[in-house]
Amino acid sequence: MVNWDKFKTFVFDLDGVIWNYPEVIEGADRVINRLKEIGKQVLIITNYTSLSRENLVKELRKRGIEIEKEEIINPCYVLALNLKGNERVLVIGNEAKKDLEEFNVNVVDDLPADILFVTHDMQFNYEKLVLGFKALINGAKFFASSLDKEWLHGKERVPGTGALVKAFEYCSNVKAELIGKPSEYMRFAMELNVLSPRKEVVYFGDQLDKDIAFAKKSKYFTVWVLSGIGKKEDLKKSKAKPNLILKSLKEVKI
Amino acid sequence: MVNWDKFKTFVFDLDGVIWNYPEVIEGADRVINRLKEIGKQVLIITNYTSLSRENLVKELRKRGIEIEKEEIINPCYVLALNLKGNERVLVIGNEAKKDLEEFNVNVVDDLPADILFVTHDMQFNYEKLVLGFKALINGAKFFASSLDKEWLHGKERVPGTGALVKAFEYCSNVKAELIGKPSEYMRFAMELNVLSPRKEVVYFGDQLDKDIAFAKKSKYFTVWVLSGIGKKEDLKKSKAKPNLILKSLKEVKI
C-alpha cells in the first residue's frame, strides 16, 4: 500500500482519470475534495481545450469537484507562457480564445498573424482552413494543443485535434509544434506550477506515453489508472513503467 | 514544328491548360473549337470536382469553349466506373453528388456507407469530418479525387483536396486510394474513352508528374504547356520528359 501522506502535490490528467465526459469517474470527486481539505496542492494538467478553464471549472463543480481555474494547466496557458512579445495569435478552436484573452494574449481574427494555434474545434470549416493556411504560407509559426487522433465525446468516438492539425500541415508544408502533453513546453509549465520538491509529487494519468513517460521525466511518482483508454496489455509494448497501477481513483484511500 | 494533323484524339488537362480559373488561357478556345470543327476527338481529363460536369460545361461555354459533358473525364466518372455493385457512397464535396447520381451511383447522406469519397469541398466542416470518420472506422473503403496540397481559386491560393483527405486519414488510420490523376483508375478511364490508336493521341498538361508521366504511360505524344503551375526548372528534377514544350495552347497552329 502507498502512503499518500508523503506527497504534497497531486497532479491529475483530466480525461480518463477525473471524468469520462460527461460522467465523473467514481472516487475522483472524493479524492480531489479531500486533498484540498487537508491542504494538499492539486493540479489538473490536460490537453482539453473544448471549454475554457472558466467553463471547465463550472462543469467540474456541477459534478461535485471543487477546483479553481488556477489549478488547471491547459495548452492555452502554456502558449501564453511561451510568447515572447505581443505576437498576433490566430486561433482555431472552440473556447481557446477566451483563455488566451484572459492571459492577455493578442488574439486576432484575421491576417496578418504571427502564430497559428490549432486547438479542438467542433465548428471547424473550410473557411478556417483557408485562413490558417494563409497565415502559414505567409510565415506564421504553427502550434497545436494536441495531436490526438480521436477523442471521446460522451461514448461517441470523434476525430481528434490531430486531424485538423494534419490538414493544415499537409497543405502548407509547415509542421506544427505540439504545445500540449507530452511536449517539453507543457512539462515546463507543470514544473513551474508544482510547489513541492519532486519527491513529494504524484501524477495520475491514463496514458503511458502522454502521461506516465511525461511525468517520469519530471521524476514524479507515477500512478497509471485504468479508468481511461489505457489497457493493461499496453504495458508490454511501452517503455514507460508506472510506479503504481490502479483501476481508478476509487482505490486511493486518503 | 509538329504536324498536328497526324493526331486524331486531343486530350487536355483543365487547370493551367484550358483556364486559370476564372480566365481562359489565350488560344484554348480557338484550339478546342477548331479541333471539333475539323472532326477531331477532344477530351478533358481533370481532377476538378468543384463543379459537376454539367455546370463545368456551362462555365466553359460561357467562355466560348464548345464542349460536351461526355467529353469530360473527372474523378466522379472514374469512381462510378469502378463500382462493383450498388455500394453506398458517402460523398464529401461541392457538386460531386450531382455527377455521381447521374451515373446512377447509390449516393447516401448518412451511415451506413460502403465507400467514403472525398472530393473538393468548400463547405467542409467538422460535422462532415465526424461522419466520414465514422464511415471509415466502420469499414468503408476510402477514395480521394485528388491529393493536391493547394489549388488556385482565381489568383488566391487555397488548401487543396489533399488537406481534407489527410484529416480523414490521420484520425481513422485508413489510407485513401487516389482515383483522380495520376492513378491507374483514371488512366484506364481515359484509355476507355480514347477512340484512336495510341500513336494518334496527343496529351496537353501543365504538370510533369500528374500529366506528362501519366500520359507517357499510355504512350501518347505529350505536350507540356507552361501556362499553369509548372516551371521550366522543374524539368531537371523530374524523370518525366515531354515530347514537346509550349508556352501555351496559343502556340498550337491548326
Question: At B84, phi and psi to the nearest 5?
Answer: -95, -30
The confidence score (pLDDT) of residue B152 equals 85
Check: CB of residue B7 under 8 Å from CB of residue B35.
no
Does the CA dihedral B89-B125-A134-A173 come out positive or negative? negative
pLDDT of B1 > 80? The answer is no
The confidence score (pLDDT) of residue A152 equals 85
CB contact under 8 A, A126 and B130: no
As a whole number of angstroms, the distance between CA A160 and CA B172 comes to 10
The confidence score (pLDDT) of residue A118 equals 98
Distance of CA A8 to the CA centre of its chain: 21
Task: Encode pLDDT of B210-219 as tens digits.
Answer: 999 999 999 9
Same-fold call for A4-46+182-251 versus A75-178: yes
Give bridge partners of residue A24 from the DSSP assignment. Answer: A19
Percent of chain A beyond pLDDT 90?
Answer: 95
Q: Where are the alpha helices (DSSP H) in A177-250?
A: 184-193, 213-217, 234-237
Nearest chain B Cα distance for residue A14, angstroms: 21
What is the predicted ipTM? 0.94
Task: Encode pLDDT of B119-130 as tens digits.
Answer: 999 999 999 999
Angle of helix A184-193 relative to helix A75-82, nearest 10 degrees, comes to: 90
The confidence score (pLDDT) of residue B87 equals 98
CB contact under 8 A, A124 and B126: yes
As a whole number of angstroms, the distance between CA A98 and CA A95 comes to 6
CB contact under 8 A, A167 and B163: yes
CB contact under 8 A, B124 and A122: no
Which residues in chain B have their CB less than 8 angstroms from residue A122's CB? 126
As a whole number of angstroms, the distance between CA B52 and CA B65 comes to 17
DSSP calls for B49-111: -SS-HHHHHHHHHHTT----GGGEE-HHHHHHHH--S--EEEEESSSHHHHHHHTT-EEESSS
Domain assignments of chain A as residue spans, ordered by start: 4-46+182-251, 75-178
Task: Encode pLDDT of A136-184 as tens digits.
Answer: 999 999 999 999 999 988 789 999 999 999 999 999 999 999 999 999 9
As a whole number of angstroms, the distance between CA B156 and CA B174 comes to 31
pLDDT of B155 > 90? The answer is no
Q: Which CATH class is domain A4-46+182-251?
A: alpha beta
Residues B219/B223/B227/B232 CA torsion (nearest 10 deg): 90
pLDDT of A204 > 80? The answer is yes
Percent of chain A beyond pLDDT 70?
Answer: 100
Q: Which CATH class is domain B75-178?
A: alpha beta
The confidence score (pLDDT) of residue A155 equals 83
Bond from prior residue into B182 cis (ω within 30 degrees of 0): yes
Residue B175 contacts A, CB cutoff 8 Å: no
pLDDT of B93 > 80? The answer is yes
Residue B126 contacts A, CB cutoff 8 Å: yes
Tell me the average pLDDT of chain A. Answer: 96
Quote the cell numbers at residue A241: 513503467
pLDDT confidence bin for A5, thresholds 50/70/90: very high
The confidence score (pLDDT) of residue B86 equals 95
CA angle B157, B158, B159 (to 5 degrees): 135
